[in-house]
Structures are given as C-alpha cells and as structure tokens.
Amino acid sequence: MRLIVIAVVLIVTCVIASRAKLVPGRAQSIVELLIEFVHGTIIQNTLGIREGRRFAPFLITIFFLILSMNLAGVVPGLNLAGTSVIGLPLLLALWTFVTYVVAGVKKHGFAGYLKHETMPPGVPKPIYLLLIPIEFLQVVLIRWASLTIRLLANMVAGHIMMVVFIGLTQGLLLSGTWLILGSPFTGALAIGIFGFEIFVAALQAFIFTMLAAVYIQMATSDEH
C-alpha cells in the first residue's frame, strides 16, 4: 500500500520536475506552492535563509513524504495513512534526530554540543543538577519519540474516528428499526470528519517539519 503511494507521488513529482518550465502549468504551480510554503513559512522563520539552504532539501522531502502518506488515509481504496503504522513516523523521527545531532556536533564538537544542549546559560548553578538530565533525556529520546507518537497518534485517531462514524452509519442504516432516522446525522459527521482528516493530514505534516526545523535550529544556534 505504501508502495502505491510512493510510486504515485514519485511518478507525479518526477513528471512535473522533468517538465518543469519557467512559466509553470497548474500541476507545477501546486508543487511549487508547497515547496515555497515549506521554504517561506517553516524554514525561513526558524533557520533563516542562510542556514535554511543547507537543510531545505531534507525538510521539504520529509514534508512531502508525510503529507502524501497522511493523505493516503483519506484516499478511497487506500484508506489507511502510511503514517498510522509506527514504522514510518519512527524512521522519519530518527532521521530528524540524526540530522540535528550531526548538525550540532559538526558545529560545536561533541562535548560542545552536549554542553550547548544540556546547559542553557543564565541559570543558577544548582539547577543544573536537575536540568542536565532532563535536557539530555529530551535531546536523545523525548524529541524524536514525541515526533513519532504525535504523528502516529493523530493519524491513528483520525482513522479510528472515520471507521467509527462510517461503521456507525452503516449499522444504523441497516438496523431496520427507527434508528435508521439517525443515520443521516452520523453520515454527515463522517463526511465532516473526512474533511477534518484532510486538514489534519496537512497540519501534521506541517508540525512535523516545523519541529524538525526548530530542533535543527536549536542544535546549530550560537546561543539559546
């Protein structure tokens, strides 16, 4: 199922990219709109233009992959978001983790990076006893784990909600009693949730990419 999504997305984007012209057609405009959105809204707001150039390919790739996988959840026939099984969110989160750790170590050195992330300046000395373990745990575990679980839970929840409402509608409609009267309402709700899922798919792709950019920015920034 993911193979289908990946194949479709890659073929479409490859066709668009190979036919890319100076004066864009409609399809090219949409893809460019998304790229410009990631560039303008996510990357430049967090990393700035100069740093952003280095990480833009990574972030845009992640954004497109998550967006297409999320949207697979609302495509009839596929019905299950690629990100609602833990493998994909976990891998993407780990990829992000590796990216920001490598970027941070490259910039500050290994010890310097640890100090940079775990010992924010301007804090009274004794607090470090508390702060260092928390920050360390946050860097090595909580960040990528939260990325994974946030994306996974959102997509699973959306899937379950759709299943519940569509199943409920079907059950009411076929119940053969006066409960049939309730089915239009649940059906309308199911359609509403369907639309909501499309929104969530885009939103989660945006949040994941945004947080990845923020983590990279935190790792490579000069000061907190």
* Residue from the set 26, 50, 57, 177 that interacts with other proteins by CB under 8 A: 57
Establish if 90 lies at the interface with other proteins (CB under 8 A). yes
Determine if 149 is a binding residue for other proteins (CB under 8 A): yes
Rounded Cα gap, residues 42 and 44, in angstroms: 6
Going from the C-alpha of 91 to that of each of 86, 145, 148, 223, the distances in angstroms are 9, 11, 8, 29
Q: Which of 72, 139, 151, 152 binds other proteins (CB under 8 A)?
A: 152
Tokens (6 digits) for 205? 């792709």
Contact with other proteins (CB under 8 A) among 43, 60, 193, 213: 60
User: Measured from the CB atom, is 10 or 191 closer to other proteins?
Assistant: 10
Q: What is the DSSP string of 32-78?
A: HHHHHHIIIIIIHHHTHHHHHHHHHHHHHHHHHHHHHHHHGGGSTTT
DSSP 86: T
Residue selected from 92, 139, 151, 201 as contacting other proteins according to rule CB under 8 A: 92
Q: Compute the chain's Rg from CA coordinates.
A: 22
**For other proteins, the closer CB: 46 or 83:** 83
Which residues sit at the interface with other proteins, rule CB under 8 A? 2-3, 6, 9-10, 13-14, 16-18, 20-22, 24, 31-32, 35-36, 57-58, 60-61, 64-65, 85-88, 90-92, 95, 149, 152, 156, 159-160, 163, 167
